[in-house]
Structure formats: C-alpha cells, structure tokens
Structure 1
Amino acid sequence: MLETLLRFARRIIPERVFRAAQPLYHFALALCAAVLYWFPSRRIKVVVVTGTKGKSSVVELTAAILEEAGFTVASISTIRFKIGKNEWRNLYKMTTPGRFFVQKFLHDAVRAKCSYAVIEMTSEAARQYRHAFIALDAVIFTNLAREHIESHGSYEKYRDAKLSLVRALEKSPKHPRFVVVNANDAEGWRFLDAKVEERIPYNLNKEEKPFETKLVGAFNQENILAAVSFAKSQGVSEEIARRAVAKVSLIPGRAEFIKEGQLFEVVVDYAHTPNSLEKLYEAFAGKKIIAVLGNTGGGRDVWKRPEMGRIADAHAEKVFLTNEDPYDEEPRAIADAMARGMARAPEIIMDRRAAIRAALQFANTLAKGGNQNNTVVLITGKGTDPYIMGANGDKEPWDDREVTREELKTLMQSFL
C-alpha cells in the first residue's frame, strides 16, 4: 500500500521535491517496520555482507560454516531466503527486499531460535535505508568495482552507500562489533578504518593452505576466505570451517554446472559486470569457451556493454549475444552496443532460449569433433534470476538453469 502511494506521489509531485523528500520517506518507513516487529535485530546476531561481487556466495558459505558449527542460521540473498531448515527462492528480483520484509524476517528468525542472520545488502538497499534500525554485529566487505553509476550518480556515491553500512555498524549498540575486509581490494582500507572493536583483514595471497572445495575459480577461494575469516572471529575452529566448505557442492546460479549426460561442460553464472565476467572466463582458461550473454537495459550501466563484449570476444571461441533484462530499452540496441566492443562478429539471437540452444548445439559439434573434455558453455548474466524484465513492468518467468536443462535433454534425445 505504501509503495503504491509512493508511485502515485511520484506522478503528481515535482521531481525535485520528490527527490528531496525520498530519504525522509525511506527513513520513516524503516522506523515503522522496526517498531511494528519490536526491533528484532536486538535479539539475534546480524551480519551484513556488502561489496560488488561475491555477496551471495559469501552469505551462502558463511551460513554453511555457522550451521556446521551447530548454530541455527537465517539468511537473505539474491538466491534465496532461509530460516533454519526452511528455505524459499528469492522471487523479488531484488537482493534486499523492503524494510517490512527484512524486519519481519528477523522477527521470524528470532522466533525460530536462530543465533545468526546473514544478510546480503546492496548499495541501493543502503541508500534507501533498508538497513536502518537494524542493530548490526558485523559487516563483511568483499570488493568494490564500478557499478550502478547511473543510479548513484558517481562511483564515489556508490562507494559511500556501501560505506554507510560501516557507519551503521559503528553506531550499533551491539558489542563486540566486527568488520571483515578484503585487504586485496583498493578500497579495503576505508572499511578497515571502521571504529569498531574487531577489524579483520583477509588476504588470499597470504593464505598458505588453499581450501578444499568443489567450487571453481580463484574468486571462490576469496569468497571462502571471507566466510571463514568471519566464522573464526565467532570462535569456529578452522577444522570445522574447512569441513563445512568441503561439503558445499554448489551455490545456486553461481558457476553452477548443468549436467544432462552431454559431452561438454555447461555452466550457469550470475556474472554481470566486466570484472566478474573476466574472472569466470579465467577460471576456464585453456578450454574452448562458448559464451552466451546479454546486458541489462533501463539505462543501467550502459558503459559496460562494449566492455563486456570485448571481454567475451577475448576469451571465447564463439560468442552468442542475446536478451537479458531489457526493461524499456530496445533489446537489439543493447546487443549492438555490446558488439561494438568486439573485434569479431558475434552471433546475435535475441530469443534467449534460442541463443542457449544454438550455443549448446555449437558446443556439441565441437565436442564430437575431438574436444569432448575441452569445451564449456558459459551462460552468464542471470544465474537464479526468476524473470526476464521487459517494458512497462512486464515480467517473463525465467530460470537459465531450467531452460538449459530442457534444451540439453532435447539435444541428447535427438541422438537416441
């Protein structure tokens, strides 16, 4: 109801007035939500994970380690919501839902006797005070790269939105308070400067013994180290942490392998920034990469379109550009902008299912030609996203993983 009133107000109130009043609106809404649910964060340890990349993975890994140590855990991420053994998919098409959801979630977590709530928090959520009136125990910072510039106005404002979570931690009545920071990141020092009791840097380059894991890529070793560093600050032994990490077979939609008996590898991943895309491709260096990717519309981060095209062109044997989340933009125009960064002409197939099908068929031909163990299809951009977002709020139900499984089954059946 309140969100409906906000949209109505936006239509009738001058833009300048609306923008000036919006922070007050968000702040008041956060207070109402906290009061309604009796400030539940005071009765549970709340850990916020922020950064540009790796947030969902760190949430999942942190929860897994704490559970292995015997704690009952609640978690919020782009992937799913979880309270103890009860979990359900995040269908909101947003990482951190509105404040009433979060406060009710914390309230329910307290009732379920959870010891910890691990929450993925975006810069947009922080800017809209979705963390306000949540008493924080810890902030985990993964990394920072250029993203959401159009939304925030500048990189500095984007960074400051992330840092506002540290400011909230500093004001938290909880003690002791922890900040866990990727010391490899150029902005890490800003987060380590937090005025809290425990400041814990982690550095993958200084980790002597790699973690045994089924998760691929150096980026996942970094995500693991973030989760382990926090868990150890809570008294969890390294032995328990390593055992928990070894048990994690996959993180949904994050470098997730899809297997239907095909002769080649297929991976679905959420990578949607230049840096995360390059890290994923590097994890499969030496293989013949068949890339399927698109880019978000709605005026979001238009600068990265040709850059992501360039990265795909540099790493992949074959590139299929397709639709992702066009919102109110012309999908083909987004693909054309990506193609401008490429030296070779990509295959442009705007129907995402058809693009996935074509990539699988191409990979199958390569595999049958003698590259059976050396071919991988990387389908990026959506991961576990439940919809393809179109114009005027149109939402097409979607799941890259399910579509890929269906197309693989059809491909395999054609050889029976």
Structure 2
Amino acid sequence: MISLDTLRSYINIPYYFPNHEIRGIALDSRKVQKDFLFAALPGNQLDGQAFIQQAIENGANTILLTNGSNMDLPSQCVPIYCDNPRQVIAKITSLFYPKLPHHKIAVTGTNGKTSTVDFARQLWELENLKSASIGTLGVLNNAGYHYTGPVLTTPDTIILHEIMQNLSKKHVTHVAMEASSHGLAQYRLDNIELEAAAFTNLTRDHLDYHHSFEAYFQAKQRLFTDILPSNAIAALNSDMNASVLETLLNIIKKRKQQLRLVGIKGNFLRLNHVKPLPHGQEITYKTASGNRVTTTLSLLGRYQIDNILLSMALIAKDSEHLESLVPLLPKLKGVKGRMEQAAILPNGATVYVDYAHTPDALTHLLQSLRPHVHHELYIIFGAGGNRDKGKRPLMALEAGKYADHVIITDDNPRHENPALIRNEIKKGFPRAVEIAGREEAIAQTVKKLQPGDILVIAGKGHEQGQIIGNTIHPFDDVKIVQKYMRYL
C-alpha cells in the first residue's frame, strides 16, 4: 500500500486531489480490487481506456492515463495523466514491490536468450545457490516455487515483479531473465536494478510488431541505454554482425559499463578450438587473465558454446570465480526444446527438436548439426501464421543451403490458411518437399531415416500445443517422434 502523496514524489499529480491510499495496481480491469490503481495502457489490439468503467466498478480509486485522454471520471476517482503510462507504471510497480532477489541479470538478442538464461541458472544451482530463470520456459527454480500464470518471454511489469517477490520469499537470491524486444519496448524491465546484461545476436524477427529492423534493434538497445546501470557488466557475443556490435560497443563505452566479449574475437573468453564428439564437443578457450582451458560439453552445437560462454561472463564475479565454473561445464544439460534429442532410432539415426524459427537460427542449427551427420541431414519446419511474413522464404533458402532434405509443413497457422503459408515458405527453396499436417510430416520422415542420418524438427521446440484459429491443440514434437518410433 502506498499513498497518493508518495506517488507525487515521482509523478506530476495536481495537489487539488486529496491524498488517499492505493492498496494495489493492475493492468487488467478484472484484477482490480477496492482502492486499486488501474493503468489504462494503450495497446496494439486493445485499449485500456475501454475497460476503465469496469475497473471503477471493481473498486479503482486511481486511473493512469495517457496525456490527451478525454475521460469523464467520477469525483472519487483520481486521474493521473502522463506522456508514457507504460514507463510510469513500471516505476509505480517498483514502489509496490521493493523486495526482489539481490542478484538479477537479463539477456536479450534474437536467438539464444532462453539457453543463456537457463545455463546461468544451472551454473548457480550447481554452486548450491537458490536461483531461478524467468522466460519462455516459465519460471524454473530450485526453491520450490510453482508459477501457474501466463508464460511470456518477458511478463508484464506487474507479473514480473510479483514473480520476483515470490521468489524472494522463497529465499531465491539469483535470477536470470529473458528480455524480449516487446518487453523492452513496453518498459517491462524498467526500474529493475540489474548487475549484468547480455546481447546474444541480432537477426530478422518480430517485424510484424516493430515494422522495421531499425525499430527492432532500438528496442533491444534499451537494455543497455536505459536499464543496465553504469559500471554493471555488459556481455556480448563478439561474433555477431559487425555493425550491430559496433553500435553496442559505443553504447557500453558511453555508459561506462564493464564490457565482456566472448567468442572467437572475445577479450574475456576467447574461443580457440571446437572438436565435435559423438554426443557432445570439446572446447578450448582463453580467459582474460591468459589461462588456456580445455573442457568437454555434453551438448551439440556451436551456438550452445556461445550461450554457455555468455552465461559465464554474466555471472563470474572475478577471475577466480570464473575458474571455479570450469568443472561445472560438463554437468550442464540441454535446455528443453533447444537441440533436444527426441530419439535415437533402432538403426542409429537421431532425431532432434529445436525452437529455431528465424532464417539465422535455422542456419546456425543446421551448421551445428552437420559435423555430427554421418549420412544425410533432414529438416522439418514451418512458419507461424499472423507473424512476420517476409522471413518465410528466407527460412527455406537457408534450410536448402545446409540440409540434404527439406520438408515444409505447418507450424502454428493461427488465423492464416496453412497451405498459403507453406506456399510462401517454399518460394525460397522450390525443391523442398511439402507435407500438410505436422504429425504426418514427422511420421513420414522418421520412417525414411537411415543409419547415420539426423533429422531436426524446428520451430516449436518446447511448445506443448499447436495454434489453429483460436484453439490450442495438444501437440509435442518430441512425443510425436516417440509415437512413431513404435512402428519401426
């Protein structure tokens, strides 16, 4: 509970409104209770102003509005007008939820957020620390906290603070979170004090929301320009696009943040050598202090190495702590839906499931698998409906470059015609095989696999459902693969 006078210290509220107590805050009018503040946020699909009456009926005594809004509110309800209500509600939320876990880090980028965040959580857990990760996979932790709310890459600011406060009550001290472009553009992480942040890479995605690549990049940059404090750790993959890297380096230098570069051109962790193994890889890297380290990972894929190095750069307190992480690396487990081994067939062929759903992600996925292929490489993928259409043929183009067999099927068609989506994808690689129905595509392909083949099913990863229209139908790529293994 906070008073209106307390808010006046942070927001311009005219003094002719008498002081009163605000018991809680809500973005959803259905969650409003007596003496709550309701934030009537503008949105792409719904406008919060349409729900003000319901919020008042549920007991709201304060309404946060955009400047220029012309609302006739009852006398007992105080309006707060501002230019940027999303930014303001983030500040108000931080006042309501001051007790959060002490150590907080965030990761942004097009691909690799989930894995980097999860590897950080795993390393903390292996160090016997109470830790958690928040993102696409929900809230994973070793403190016995069970989150049952909506799963978003970056939850809205109130839900995010509620989760972290609940984790704090469970004595969680270390939290790693994903920072999506949507979440950053909508100020969901503002006023959360981070001690480190990472940027994995930047390629085309979410242009249906941001409309341009430049706007997408601008949203991502906010993690470093507006949220990460000066002197905090800023970890980057040195091998990302050169112009993107240069922009980020300039920001970090200007903000006087502690730069940690990892990868082939890294200065904090420089990757020297990768040796593919049957069920993993051996890596050699050099630390900033000059130590040369060789260790084994039980994970396939070069991009897994990038994500692990980034996670180490995020959490290492100093060179001594960094050295102590080395014995933990072979114990790291793959993240669900990320290069996840779904099955090894009786003839030795292997099937993997991965979340890759952008052209760049498909490229890295297939390049990572290629050293482990002893015969032929297959890929099954589709594209989501009501999302960025421009990337569809580009995905097929990349798949055709690196796979021996490309099978185009359905992803989450949502409200689009699945056949039209498949046709748009196929324009990028006309020789691809088209099989309507994701389960049928998996069934047919699994039966074709020969010894030494690898099949990767891309696009949905950890997802447990397929969205057709407004309905989510139960669907798990891993379970479908295992279902058809019975007939082999």
TM-score, normalization by structure 1: 0.85
Aligned-CA RMSD value: 2.8
Report which of the two has the higher share of helix: 1
Structure 2 partner of 1:394 = 471
Q: Which has the bigger relative contact order, CA under 8 A and spacing at least 6?
A: 1
| Amino acid corresponding to residue 476 of structure 2 in structure 1 | D
Partner Cα distance (1:407, 1:328) in 2: 29
1:240-279 map, 5 Å: 240-259=324-343, 261-263=345-347, 264-279=349-364
Q: In structure 2, list runs of 5 or more residues that go unmatched.
A: 1-25, 30-39, 52-64, 70-81, 273-283, 286-294
Equivalent position SS for 1:146: coil
Cα–Cα, structure 1 residues 404 and 104, in superposed 2: closer, same or farther, change >3 Å? same
Structure 2 partner of 1:407 = 484
| Amino acid corresponding to residue 227 of structure 1 in structure 2 | S
Question: Which stretch shows the higher mean deviation, 272-281 or 230-239?
Answer: 230-239
Maintained 8 Å contact 1:83/1:112: no
Partner Cα distance (1:311, 1:160) in 2: 26
Deviation at 1:288, TM superposition (A): 0.8
User: Does structure 1 residue 190 correspond to structure 2 residue 275?
Assistant: no
Cα–Cα, structure 1 residues 221 and 131, in superposed 2: closer, same or farther, change >3 Å? same
1:140-179 map, 5 Å: 140-170=198-228, 172=229, 176-179=231-234
2:396 equivalent among 298, 303, 309: 309
1:208-219 map, 5 Å: 208=272, 209-210=284-285, 211-219=295-303
Equivalent position SS for 1:284: helix
Partner Cα distance (1:19, 1:218) in 2: 49
Deviation at 1:258, TM superposition (A): 1.4
Question: Which stretch shows the higher mean deviation, 225-234 or 304-313?
Answer: 225-234
User: Does structure 1 residue 282 correspond to structure 2 residue 367?
Assistant: yes
| Amino acid corresponding to residue 399 of structure 1 in structure 2 | D
Partner Cα distance (2:380, 2:68) in 1: 41
Deviations 1:78-109 (A, max 9, x none): 12312334376888453112222210111022
Cα–Cα, structure 1 residues 316 and 115, in superposed 2: closer, same or farther, change >3 Å? same
Cα–Cα, structure 1 residues 333 and 245, in superposed 2: closer, same or farther, change >3 Å? same
Aligned residues: 392
Deviation at 1:32, TM superposition (A): 4.3
Equivalent position SS for 1:355: helix
Deviations 1:334-365 (A, max 9, x none): 1000111114141322x2111111111121xx
1:332 equivalent among 395, 402, 419: 419
Question: Which stretch shows the higher mean deviation, 236-245 or 145-154?
Answer: 236-245
Structure 2 partner of 1:229 = 313
Report which of the two has the higher share of strand: 2
Cα–Cα, structure 1 residues 245 and 276, in superposed 2: closer, same or farther, change >3 Å? same
Structure 1 partner of 2:96 = 36
Structure 2 partner of 1:180 = 235
Equivalent position SS for 2:296: coil
| Amino acid corresponding to residue 398 of structure 1 in structure 2 | F
Maintained 8 Å contact 2:123/2:332: no
Partner Cα distance (1:244, 1:326) in 2: 41
Equivalent position SS for 1:212: strand
Structure 2 partner of 1:355 = 441
2:84 equivalent among 24, 49, 60: 24
| Amino acid corresponding to residue 194 of structure 2 in structure 1 | L
Question: Which stretch shows the higher mean deviation, 267-276 or 82-91?
Answer: 82-91
2:379 equivalent among 287, 291, 300: 291
Deviation at 1:333, TM superposition (A): 0.6
Cα–Cα, structure 1 residues 30 and 347, in superposed 2: closer, same or farther, change >3 Å? same
State the structure with more CA Rg: 2
Maintained 8 Å contact 2:344/2:351: no
Cα–Cα, structure 1 residues 130 and 236, in superposed 2: closer, same or farther, change >3 Å? farther
Question: Which stretch shows the higher mean deviation, 213-222 or 307-316?
Answer: 307-316
Deviation at 1:119, TM superposition (A): 0.3
| Amino acid corresponding to residue 283 of structure 1 in structure 2 | S
Cα–Cα, structure 1 residues 61 and 312, in superposed 2: closer, same or farther, change >3 Å? same
Partner Cα distance (2:176, 2:481) in 1: 30
Deviation at 1:11, TM superposition (A): 9.7
Partner Cα distance (1:378, 1:91) in 2: 31
Partner Cα distance (1:236, 1:113) in 2: 26
Cα–Cα, structure 1 residues 87 and 317, in superposed 2: closer, same or farther, change >3 Å? farther
| Amino acid corresponding to residue 121 of structure 1 in structure 2 | A
| Amino acid corresponding to residue 259 of structure 2 in structure 1 | R
Structure 1 partner of 2:36 = none
TM-score, normalization by structure 2: 0.74
| Amino acid corresponding to residue 182 of structure 1 in structure 2 | N
| Amino acid corresponding to residue 142 of structure 1 in structure 2 | T
Deviation at 1:325, TM superposition (A): 1.3
Structure 2 partner of 1:60 = 118
Q: In structure 1, list runs of 5 or more residues that go unmatched.
A: none
Equivalent position SS for 1:251: coil
Deviation at 1:48, TM superposition (A): 0.5
Maintained 8 Å contact 1:204/1:222: no
Maintained 8 Å contact 1:34/1:40: no
Deviations 1:228-279 (A, max 9, x none): 1223235663443222221023211100111265321000000111111011
Deviation at 1:163, TM superposition (A): 0.8
Identity of aligned residues (%): 24
Maintained 8 Å contact 2:357/2:458: yes
Deviation at 1:226, TM superposition (A): 0.6
